[in-house]
């Protein structure tokens, strides 16, 4: 079967440009998928929750393939794009499990720290846990936006693992500094404002949780951040919250250490990058130079599709079908 080419994706007529593609994916009624939860305990005392598509267990999966899914910023295992992919994988008898980053599963994580675009160590713990339980299986990874950046960073760090067969990264913010700056201007400021409101609300709720549960040590770390009432941009949030909570000097230090652009040359896993030229969150300057990609990495830069959109009027679930075909056939 011939994989879809860049020309084969055509946006639905009612979603003609990047913003509508992006917003439709966010607000359209999601697929309904029954999930089964597992918890992975971490050495630092925290935890990560995994949500399996309940209909297909790992041991029953077609060709012994397990697909691991990493969500985006302010997302979770029930995000529409996760549910859509798990639905299609289930229909094809492939087991899938969605990793909730710390604090994203509907339960407060135990530490002041949470998650960010470079938490590849947490992804590695999840893979190690899954591999220990399914040593005879092959794994494919799919990451979206922030989760795609985490995935590519992890792939570059591990170089190659014989049981990691394929990886797909969708709408990756390869250069975090450029993407953060893009949300300071134009219509893209609306996306930045949305993320900042959500992140600050989550942080305030976590403060209240630590207060109610008398977790003085972790509450002290959050209180040390000071007043955050004047934060308006993602850059400010990363500078005053993400960086100090996760061991970085400032936003620039965080962006420099965690941008997946630096890790692309080291990736030895067969990897597909799906990007759109009209992505409202990722400027053209943030996209990788094809000459810097390793031989195992393929970039499909589509003319349209928005940010984690790719809603087609001619092919149902174009993005999910593209991911499935890459995993099974390409």
Q: Would you name the residues annotated as active-site residues? A: 145, 279, 307
Q: For residue 210, give Cα distances in angstroms to 109, 232, 259.
A: 10, 24, 31
- The C-alpha atoms of residue 289 and residue 301 are separated, in whole angstroms, by 12
10 Å Cβ neighbour count for 329?
9
Question: What gap in Å lies between CA 98 and CA 92, rounded to an integer?
Answer: 17
d(CA 269, CA 99): 20
- Residues with Cβ < 8 Å from 28, sequence gap 6 or more? 80
Alpha-carbon distances, residue 215 vs 40, 194, 206, 221, 289 (angstroms) = 21, 29, 11, 11, 47
Q: Which two tokens stand for residue 182?
A: 């893009």
Please say whether the dihedral angle defined by the alpha carbons of residues 260, 67, 76 and 302, taken in this order, is positive or negative: positive
Q: What is the dihedral of CA 275, 280, 284, 285, to 10 degrees?
A: -120
């Amino acid at each position: 079967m011939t994989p879809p080419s860049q020309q084969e994706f055509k946006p639905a007529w009612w979603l003609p440009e990047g913003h509508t593609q992006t917003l439709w994916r966010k607000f359209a009624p999601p697929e309904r998928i029954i999930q089964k939860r597992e918890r992975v305990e971490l050495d630092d005392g925290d935890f990560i929750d995994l949500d399996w598509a309940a209909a297909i267990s790992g041991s029953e999966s077609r060709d012994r393939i397990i697909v691991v899914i990493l969500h985006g910023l302010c997302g979770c295992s029930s995000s529409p794009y996760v549910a859509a992919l798990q639905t299609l994988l289930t229909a094809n008898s492939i087991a899938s499990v969605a990793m909730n980053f710390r604090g994203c599963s509907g339960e407060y994580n135990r530490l002041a720290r949470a998650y960010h675009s470079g938490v590849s160590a947490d992804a590695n713990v999840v893979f190690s846990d899954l591999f220990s339980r399914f040593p005879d299986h092959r794994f494919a990874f799919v990451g979206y936006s922030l989760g795609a950046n985490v995935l590519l960073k992890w792939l570059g760090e591990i170089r190659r693992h014989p049981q990691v067969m394929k990886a797909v990264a969708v709408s990756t913010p390869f250069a975090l500094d450029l993407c953060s700056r893009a949300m300071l201007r134009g219509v893209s400021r609306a996306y930045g404002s949305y993320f900042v409101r959500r992140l600050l609300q989550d942080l305030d709720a976590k403060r209240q949780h630590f207060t109610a549960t008398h977790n003085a040590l972790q509450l002290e770390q959050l209180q040390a951040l000071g007043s955050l009432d004047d934060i308006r941009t993602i850059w400010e949030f990363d500078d005053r919250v993400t960086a100090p909570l996760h061991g970085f000097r400032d936003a620039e230090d965080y962006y420099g250490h965690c941008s997946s652009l630096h890790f692309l040359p080291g990736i030895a896993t067969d990897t597909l990058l799906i990007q759109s030229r009209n992505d409202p969150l990722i400027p053209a300057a943030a996209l990788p130079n094809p000459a810097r990609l390793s031989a195992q990495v393929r970039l499909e830069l589509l003319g349209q599709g928005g940010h984690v959109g790719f809603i087609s009027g001619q092919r149902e679930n174009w993005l999910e079908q593209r991911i499935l075909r890459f995993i099974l056939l390409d």
